[in-house]
Each structure stands twice: as C-alpha cells, then as structure tokens.
A and B are shown apart, each in its own frame.
Chain A
Amino acid sequence: GQNIDQPTEMTATEGAIVQINCTYQTSGFNGLFWYQQHAGEAPTFLSYNVLDGLEEKGRFSSFLSRSKGYSYLLLKELQMKDSASYLCAVREGGATNKLIFGTGTLLAVQP
C-alpha cells in the first residue's frame, strides 16, 4: 500500500528553526518533493531529493534517508510569511510521473 505521514500541525516562533518530518511507505520510490501551499493558493515547489543526504536552498533544507523511508524539511530564520501548509510527496516511478501526497503540515509562525 501507499502511506505518507506528516504531523498535522506545528507552531514555531519567528526567527527560530523548525523541522517538519515525513515518513513514507510506497510500492516504489523515484524521488521526494516538498511543496509549500498558502491558503487558497497553488502549491509551489520547494525541494527535491532522490539520493540520501541533505539538499540546501537558502533558508530551506531537505533531507532524505531512503533506507528509513524518511525525509524532513528544515526551515531556518522563520518569517511570518512562512506560515503555510507544507506538503510531502513521493514519486513512485514507473510509467506515470504522478505524485503521492501526504495530508500536509500546517505551520503557524508566531511573533
């Protein structure tokens, strides 16, 4: 079966660091994506991991461990505008490039 788990909600303070975890069990694996989605808006691409390790992009980093079926998104120097849902998605591979999404983590950044 397919299962992608993320915490439903998280709260953090402006200027701090927050880590959003994602665990997955899928029939195949060909990459993991993180998207950010503000309420009522389109999901926007943040990061991609296909090999084990850490990918860094400015204030955002994403980590992958394929053997553990685990990823996290790390957000540093939090800003109020980072308040959004963060979606973890796995590409199973094969003929279709479809993504299997978790339910998302709603992050609230407080002053």
Chain B
Amino acid sequence: GAGVSQSPSNKVTEKGKDVELRCDPISGHTALYWYRQSLGQGLEFLIYFQGNSAPDKSGLPSDRFSAERTGGSVSTLTIQRTQQEDSAVYLCASSLPDRVGQPQHFGDGTRLSIL
C-alpha cells in the first residue's frame, strides 16, 4: 500500500502484560514518529527516528516505553508492564527527509485498551 501501515489496529490486553505495536512507513520516508492520542487530549509526541541518527526519545513517558527501527524502515513500539493509563490510540507518522514544510503522513493507529 501507499500509506503508513500500523498493526494491530486494535489491541486489548491485561494490566501488567507487554505489548508490541508495529509501524510500516511509506517507502522512501527516512523520518518516522510515534505519537499517542488519549481521549480529549491532543496528539502527544513520543519518539522520532531520522535515518541513522540517534533517535529523539524525549517524549517517552517512562522507561516502560521503548522503540526501535530496524533497517531504517519498520518500527516497533514496545510497552512493558502495561498500566491502565497507557490506554490510548498510538499513531505512527513518516515523512521525507526534513525540509521546510514537509508534512508528516499518519497511519490509522493502534487502539490500545488495558483492562
């Protein structure tokens, strides 16, 4: 497909379990972002990957959250020992190399529900 692909689209899990969310960016997009969207809140930045540079992890809310990007393409966001407050929609976006005005293209997100 031509767009950003995320899987799974929905995930329900018990508190304390680990979850892994996947993002397939648009081919050729070297920049990849993860955001979180909670009910009634704006999108919250989590982490940014750009090419081979060290990722910007400044938005990760705790050390239970981690992300990696293998081969400059697919990325996985891992949440360990999930808590109820982790329930949200996790959105991935990608863009071409940073130039002024380069928009980020979003996937449909993974809706995560922690019971």
Given contacts A42-B109, A96-B56, contact A103 B41 (CB under 8 A): yes
Given contacts A31-B101, A45-B105, A103-B40, contact A98 B91 (CB under 8 A): no
Residue numbers in B under 8 Å from A100 (CB-CB): 45
Residue numbers in A under 8 Å from B4 (CB-CB): 42
Q: How many residues of B contact A (CB 8 A)?
A: 29
> A1-60: which have CB < 8 Å to B?
4, 30-31, 33, 35, 40-45, 48, 50
Q: Does B90 count as interface, using CB distance less than 8 angstroms?
A: no
Could you say which of B31, B43, B59, B107 has the most chain A C-beta atoms within 10 Å of its C-beta?
B43
Query: By the criterion CB–CB under 8 Å, are A103 and B101 in contact?
Result: no
> B78-115: which have CB < 8 Å to A?
91, 95, 98, 100-109
A96 and B31 CA atoms in complex are apart in Å by 10
Query: By the criterion CB–CB under 8 Å, are A98 and B48 in contact?
Result: yes
Interface residues of B (CB under 8 A from A): 3-4, 31, 33, 35, 40-45, 48, 50, 56, 58-59, 91, 95, 98, 100-109
Which of A30, A41, A104 contacts B108, CB < 8 Å? A41
Q: Does A72 count as interface, using CB distance less than 8 angstroms?
A: no
CB of B107, distance to nearest CB on chain A (Å): 6
Nearest to A6 among chain B residues (CB) is: B42
Q: Does A108 count as interface, using CB distance less than 8 angstroms?
A: no
Residue numbers in B under 8 Å from A103 (CB-CB): 40-42
A108 and B64 CA atoms in complex are apart in Å by 38
CB of B94, distance to nearest CB on chain A (Å): 11
Residue numbers in B under 8 Å from A89 (CB-CB): 43
A77 and B91 CA atoms in complex are apart in Å by 31
CB of A14, distance to nearest CB on chain B (Å): 27
Query: By the criterion CB–CB under 8 Å, are B42 and A48 in contact?
Result: no
Q: Does A99 count as interface, using CB distance less than 8 angstroms?
A: yes
Q: Does A63 count as interface, using CB distance less than 8 angstroms?
A: no
